[in-house]
Amino acid sequence: MAFITSLISLLAALSFFLVFIPCNARLKHDFYKKTCPNVEKIIYNVASQKLLEAPVTAAGALRIFFHDCFVEGCDASVLIASSETNKAERDSEINLSLPGDGYDVLFRAKRALELQCPGIVSCADIMAIATRDLVHLAGGPRWEVAKGRRDGLISKASRVEGNIPHVNQTISQTISLFKSKGLSTLDMFMPRIYSYNKTHDIDPTMNQDFARSLRGSCPKSKKLDPTVVALNDVSTPFVFDNFYYKNLKKGLGLLATDQMLLLDSRTRAYVKRMADAKTAFFKHFVVAMIKLSNIGVKTGKDGEIRRDCGSFNG
């Protein structure tokens, strides 16, 4: 499950700890039945073509969807470009590593929909549908997406930091932050591969060869490059499966919080179950994604339908 980020795997593993988020009553599976009946087909075609061009697209779109929902809610605010008077979410330091291919598939889908159904489908709904399709195309499960989200009217980089967990948090802190819609932070693995403590240069719970290989991608320096991205699954790149959990048992977790899932008594049995049964992982992942997609949803006058996902309607 190489393309699944640690945040996503944590969400699935901690889904039982999350506050239940009921589906917004104003969201409907057939929301576009009369106004844009081919919405899902159009998005699927765009997603499948983009995935053929760039296999990393699934990972990118999935990460972007998480980062969007956990800051202002699922309102596509992360897609807004900064202007001279506003530094948007997209340009916050933690979001600089979000892959361009993930953005590209969403903007492509919007352009395709505007040709068929101008001014009808929100960027927020496109994100939810495209993310589902990309996960499924990469070998993962499929679920029904309720629709009717509006696009947010605010996007500020200053609002991102307060929603992001700190480096090397405990499982207790992670559970708490997930409950309050926290995000995982960038480069959480750096303290694991350089000067871990006075006794060990590398975190002893981490596979030592894996740690040394990461040093090539992430050289030690005074200032980390926030755009550097490292795969957190060395076994099955670009395939949606449960190898993330299998790798934890081998000490191949990228982030400190990854390995904590196996070490903490509250999550250890759950991780082992996910490692042993892909169907169990898929089941809980779907539950987690449906909960996630209902965070902070805006409907009616609380939002808009953007003509361009990268800018507010003027």
The catalytic residues are: 67
Q: Provide the 10 A C-beta neighbour count for residue 265.
A: 7
- Residue at token pair 């992360």: 78
- For 310, the token pair is 């990268």
76 CB contacts (<8 Å, ≥6 apart)?
Answer: 68, 122, 123, 124, 126, 127, 151, 152, 306, 309
Alpha helices in 117-224 (DSSP H): 123-137, 171-179, 190-193, 208-217
The answer for 76, left when phi > 0, alpha when psi is -120 to 50, beta otherwise, is left
Candidates 307, 292, 299; CA nearest to 67 is 292
Cα maximum dimension of the chain: 65
